[in-house]
Amino acid sequence: MSSVSPRTEPTDEQLAAVIATRENSESQWQAAQQQFEVLYARHSGKLLAFLAGRVRRSDVDDVHQAVWERVWQHLPGRFSGGNFRAWLHQIARNYIIDRSRRRTTDQLEDEARFDDPRTTRPDEALVESERMQALEGCLRKLDELSATLVRARLGGEDYDTLCERLDLASARAHKLFHQAKVQLSNCVKRALE
């Protein structure tokens, strides 16, 4: 009788190494996205639990997505191996700290400002119009489900309601939304260059 060695799952460090090579070719980009999905599936639940104790309930989903965006952005250059979950949670801690500092600064600036916030300079209005046109064009490039998810979230619909309406598992909705945000961000950047 021959023994079959059990198939082992790749470590977080091995997944990160694949993700780090994402800009070399289209096939490596796709492999990186697949490996990122594996990391997301492994760690998103525990990250959500971690965040639930540190930010307002209404902000958990947005902070969760922002942390994963930072992971995608910084993983190639800043994760040098070791405990991925510790690194992920450190990114989350830093994001929460930055966010609270930004809120404090924004509140101070808002209190100090006496001009009418509804007035926008013409050049600002033009830039914003170009961004909105680029975003709309990029939204049309998304698959129908992802575009529906993004539009609903931008409209203020919460994940629970969305998942029920679209008959989606919560983890799948979070994953699709995160992927759509990354695609939209990259698409809009390219469109505005």
> pLDDT tens, 68-111?
999 998 887 787 778 888 899 999 999 998 888 887 666 666 55
CB contact at 8 A, 175 and 40: yes
What residue ranges do the domains of the chain occupy?
10-106, 125-193
Q: How far apart are CA 127 and CA 170, in angstroms?
A: 35
CATH topology of domain 10-106: Rna Polymerase Sigma Factor; Chain: A (1.10.1740)
Using a cut of 0.75, tell me whether the model's pTM lies above it.
no
pLDDT higher than 90, residue 177: no
DSSP conformation letters of 87-153: HHHHHHHHHHHHHHHHHHHHHHHHHH--S-TT---HHHHHHHHHHHHHHHHHHHHS-HHHHHHHHHH
CATH topology of domain 125-193: Arc Repressor Mutant, subunit A (1.10.10)
> pLDDT tens, 103-132?
766 666 655 555 555 566 666 767 777 888
Q: How many CB atoms are located within 10 Å of the residue 193 CB? A: 5
Q: How far apart are CA 173 and CA 191, in angstroms?
A: 26
